[in-house]
Structure 1
Amino acid sequence: MLGLLYSVKASVGVAPLPMPIGDAEPELVRVLGPIPELARIWRVLAVPELRRTPRVAAFFDFMVEEVEALRPILTG
């Protein structure tokens, strides 16, 4: 990923970069919108026996809150 970033910053061309990475570089501008084919689906899995244990349930709750808070950054 850093190779793409450095290439774009060196004016080699355009490249699809994760929005948080590209947006952190003030000299770069977006030339394309989000590309649906590059979207990621996030899954957190646990074995059924552990899903309801306090520590795993707490982790799942934490992840739901954090992903919701980060959604604008992750989706642009």
Structure 2
Amino acid sequence: MARQQTFRLREAPGRPAPDARVIDADYSEVGKKRRFLRRVWNGVLTVIAVAMVGFLIPPVIVVVQEAADYFAGR
């Protein structure tokens, strides 16, 4: 899970030590837009999963009833 806490970066005055490793990277902020789209996508997947379960329950009940009738008749 992503870390929700943010850390402020600060610069130390003066030149870095000769053996210091300098990190030079481009940073980009991930905004609320992606979080919103993630929630929408998760909602769509949830609706699809619930619909699949809802459509599969009646055939399973029919199969169980047929099996019960088959074994009850023996």
Is TM (by shorter chain) over 0.5?
A: no
TM-score normalised to structure 1 length: 0.28
TM-score normalised to structure 2 length: 0.29
Larger radius of gyration: 2
